[in-house]
Amino acid sequence: MGEKPNPNANAKPVSTIGSSVIPIINKLQDIIAPVGFESFNISLPQVAVVGSQSSGKSSVLEALVGRDFLPRGCDICTRRPLVLMLEHCSVSPDDDGAEWGEFRHLPARRFYDFSKIRREIQAETERVAGFNKGVSDKQIRLKISSPNVLNMTLIDLPGITKVPVGDQPSDIEARIRKMIMAHITQENCIILAVTPANSDLANSDALQMAREADPKGSRTIGVITKLDIMDRGTDACNFLLGRVVPLRLGYIGVVNRSQEDINYNRSIQDALVREERFFHDHPVYNGLSDKCGIPQLAKKLNQILEQHIRMVLPNLKAELNARMVVVLKELRAYGEDMESKAEQGQGVILLSILRRYCEAFTAMVDGKSQEILTTELSGGARIHYIFQSIFLKGLEEVDPCEDLTDDDIQIAIQNANGPRSSLFVPEVPFEVLVRRQLARLLDPSLQCLRFVYDEMIKISHSVQATELQRYPYLRRRLDEVIGKFLHDGVKPAERMITNIIEIEMDYINSSHPRFIGGEKAVELATQQLKSSQEIRSQSNNDKTSTAGNTAGANSSRSWSIFGSKASSMENSSSRSVGRTFHDTEHSSDKSRSSSTIKLREPPSVLRPSEVTDHEAMKIIATKLLLRSYYDIVKESIQDLVPKVIMHYLVNHAKRELHNTLIQKLYRDNLFEELLQEEDDIVAKRKHARGLFHVLEQVIQTLNGVESEVSYRHSHSSIGSTDSITGLPR
């Protein structure tokens, strides 16, 4: 396609050097470009051209191509990176040596008129970067096929600028520098640092950025332009010999086309002839022929790029293979599209998805998942943690008497006695109190059930069956069905746990072999009370030991006197009471005239009086009985509640989930809706498939030439030195 004018009859090859290696990279560029280089995140060997505005970058590139095709002007012209893939082709009788260009954004359209290439570069730049000097890092990709070029890939980057023009932002310099650094910091990038001869090489912006990206100078080639306009009596010999700013790859000096040449549309071939004459006639440069001229620059770039490609080819292949594994895994995750599976039937596909999901769910619960985490507990391990570290330990830390005071127990005992005093620990208050404490076991048991239910929901959400990523509606319906299924499994477990607690409360088995019993409790309580009394008595004796025997004697006399007085008072009281009843019986009229004794009314709330030793013993005994029986029931609950939860919820889900999903979801009228993919998934699969096919082609291409490259390199390097650096190969 495209127009085909008469080719330039005066065109001649810059060099006859060819290579079978560089075209491989160009072919890779062609293969990868349609799906986007950002998808691969790999760096292919190429040459980036860096320089300030008006440094002569455009003239150098056009000289390498042999054609005038780049936009020109006094302001910034390169406003988007231009990836220029040069491909050497042989002259054939059919095209008479014709040259052509092809843009990646206009595939299959060939431009034979290079002035139209210039206009298309301008139009494509303005389409993205605007009309008023804005810049963009989005690349323009141009392939030029010609018998007058050497195989290489060049990237023309925007010129380093200092002052914003047009609608450029105030930080235009920083933006351009960032764009340049993004390219030249890649290890596979050869840096072509362009500096005009009429400026200070030591302060060259291009060389400074190259040094920052390539501190060792092993990837940088210096190009000194405009050698013909240096002041008379001066030359760039020291620069070209690397005596000012050394570079391992050295320097090449060139002569640019003058503005007059451009204005009069003089051909680049004529400019190359004048350049050759200039170096030949110059008294200094004629002795540096290997460091001067566009042909030498093209030859050197071709050789450096080819050697660099040979060096990075094994790592590039390994990187592409690794990338292919990632893309293949991603492609498998998206699965085949429904069109390719139409012959299988939607029902078969749905059954397969449900089966694999249930298998993955069960494997996660049982700890047999293929993807076992190493950073945290997951799946069934979390359920085990709930049983052992939360439920069991939580019950172990509970004191059954922590919310019962001695007053509470004393009141319960006295209320159970009624109007009588008990000689032993009454049975009724013990049963009342122990039932109240056993009832407290219900809440933590139901909390344990709720915790496990939440974990089962989490497991159902975390199961990532491959196809579920493709079918969002199926995923939502699956979550709904499983949520209701697990919720229904909670109900019988909840009833069973409640019944177990109520059974324990309904019958207090005081004959349990591990129960302490009343007699033993009284015995232990008596011992504890006696022990505490002895401790208090000993403490009191220590406090009064300094009083001596005198105090003891006085005390004895006091108690003796108190006892005598008490006996006398008791006899007197008896006589007095006898006379009172006698007088009352025989002299009723006289008693009516005496005053009436009134008792105070009992308060609305009665609290027990001071605790006697006997009552204290019964309180201690009751606590012993409570703790003994509570521990028996607690151990039973610790054993039964996890069993109930596993039976009614966890194991029930493993047994019945698959059948439930089939009953709820496997319906003819739901197939199409459940297996509907999102557009995003379809697009991602298409993109991944494209990447995979591209990688297959790329790796196949590399495999086809790897042995040839190795063979040629091994034979050409025996006993030879590097033509670029002069070092042994």
Q: What is the pLDDT of residue 15?
A: 39
**Kind plus residue range of the DSSP H or E element containing 728:** none
Q: Say which amino acid occupies 33.
A: A
The mean pLDDT values, 10 residues at a time, for the chain of 729 residues are 44 42 67 59 80 86 88 72 87 66 88 91 87 81 88 87 71 87 90 89 88 91 90 86 90 86 81 91 90 92 83 81 85 64 67 86 83 76 91 82 64 58 61 82 93 92 71 84 91 94 86 73 68 69 56 39 36 41 48 69 67 68 80 89 94 91 82 74 79 80 65 54 45
Q: What is the pLDDT of residue 448?
A: 94
Q: What is the pLDDT of residue 600?
A: 77
How would you classify residue 626: left for phi > 0, otherwise alpha for psi between -120 and 50, otherwise beta? alpha
Coil, helix or strand for 264? coil
Nearest to 174 by CA among 135, 215, 122, 219: 135
Paired tokens of 112: 């034979």
Coil, helix or strand for 252? strand
Distance CA 162, CA 176 (A): 10
Instruction: Answer for the pair 280, 286: CB distance below 8 angstroms, yes or no.
Output: yes
Q: What is the pLDDT of residue 340?
A: 47
**Kind plus residue range of the DSSP H or E element containing 140:** strand 140-146
Q: Which residues are within 8 A (CB) of 477 and not within 5 positions of it... i.e. 6 or more apart?
A: 665, 670, 674
Write the pLDDT tens digit of every residue in 431-469: 777 788 888 899 999 999 999 999 999 988 888 665 676
Distance CA 444, CA 434 (A): 17
Distances (CA, A) of 578 to 379, 564, 571, 575, 679: 88, 21, 11, 5, 112
Nearest to 79 by CA among 166, 141, 157: 157
Distance CA 80, CA 98 (A): 28
Q: Which residues pair with 111 in a beta bridge?
A: 101
CATH of 347-526+612-675, one of 3.20.20.70, 1.20.120.1240, 3.40.50.2000, 2.102.10.10: 1.20.120.1240
Q: What is the pLDDT of residue 625?
A: 80
Nearest to 514 by CA among 397, 631, 393: 631
Domain with residues 68-165, CATH architecture: 3-Layer(aba) Sandwich (3.40)
The one-character DSSP state at 94 is T
Nearest to 525 by CA among 445, 624, 459: 624
Nearest to 115 by CA among 166, 171, 70: 70
**Beta strand pairing status for 82-88 and 189-196?**
unpaired
Nearest to 704 by CA among 24, 83, 17: 24
Distance CA 466, CA 430 (A): 60
